[in-house]
Amino acid sequence: MRRAARPMAETTSPDFALDCVVEDARWNAVPEVADLCTKIAAACLPAVNHDGALAATVLLTNDAHVRDLNARFRDQDKPTNVLSFPNDDEEPDPDTGALYLGDIAVSYETVLREATEAEKPLQNHLTHMIVHGVLHLAGFDHLDDAEAEEMESMEVNILNEFGISDPYTQI
């Protein structure tokens, strides 16, 4: 995914730098959205299981942009809630020493619609989508039942740190 030339807030936990790019201003309705991204990154660190510094980018965008990305990179011409683009480079950045995990794109309209339908706060569903995206960047997936169970269990444990109930019991 090409990084957008937009205002960006770089937020950093001790071992995980997360660039939060707010491309769609409607995401600013989530209080302190960049700080939230920092907290999410820190909470995901144990699941990532990496000894060195990490970095990633979260693009908070809209259905049109996510639909374009989904069509170009996944051959699915439709918007979705979150897309993850893992970085294949296994070497840390020589300037920062951080291993760049990749990029995550989150669609405002889809996440808002899902949150509304599930009667949950937008902030909580956004938190879930970023956790889900970070786990994908770390190599976790849900292609079969065993993988899905492992990934969902990690998500539930991380979301619990934010006081967010298990999103899978509401499905």
Give, in order, the Cα–Cα distances in Å from 108 to each of 21, 82, 143: 13, 10, 25
Query: Which positions ≥6 away from 82 have C-beta within 8 Å?
Result: 104, 105, 106, 107, 111, 129, 130, 132, 133
Give 71-85 as a DSSP string.
Answer: HHHHS--S--SEEEE
Query: What torsion do the CA atoms of 131, 133, 125, 60 make, to the nearest 10 degrees?
Result: 120
Give 29-97 as a DSSP string.
Answer: GSTTHHHHHHHHHHHHHHHH--SS-EEEEEEEE-HHHHHHHHHHHHS--S--SEEEEE----SPPTTT-
Give, in order, the Cα–Cα distances in Å from 83 to each of 63, 97, 105, 107, 131: 11, 25, 5, 9, 12
Question: Which pLDDT score, from 0 to 100, does residue 6 have?
Answer: 33
> Phi-psi region for residue 99, left (φ > 0), alpha (ψ -120 to 50) or beta?
beta
Question: Which pLDDT score, from 0 to 100, does residue 23 have?
Answer: 96
Going by their DSSP bridges, the two strands 8-12 and 16-22 should be labelled as antiparallel
The CA-CA-CA angle for residues 80, 75, 22, to 5°, reads 40
Domains of the chain in start order, with CATH, are 8-161 (3.40.390.30)
Q: How confident is the model at residue 46 (pLDDT cuts 50, 70, 90)?
A: confident
Q: How confident is the model at residue 105 (pLDDT cuts 50, 70, 90)?
A: very high
SS3 for 139? coil
Question: Which pLDDT score, from 0 to 100, does residue 7 have?
Answer: 36
Residue 29: CB atoms within 10 Å = 11
Q: Which two tokens stand for residue 11?
A: 């937020």
Q: How confident is the model at residue 125 (pLDDT cuts 50, 70, 90)?
A: very high
- Tell the residue number behind the tokens 């907290």, with chain if given: 39
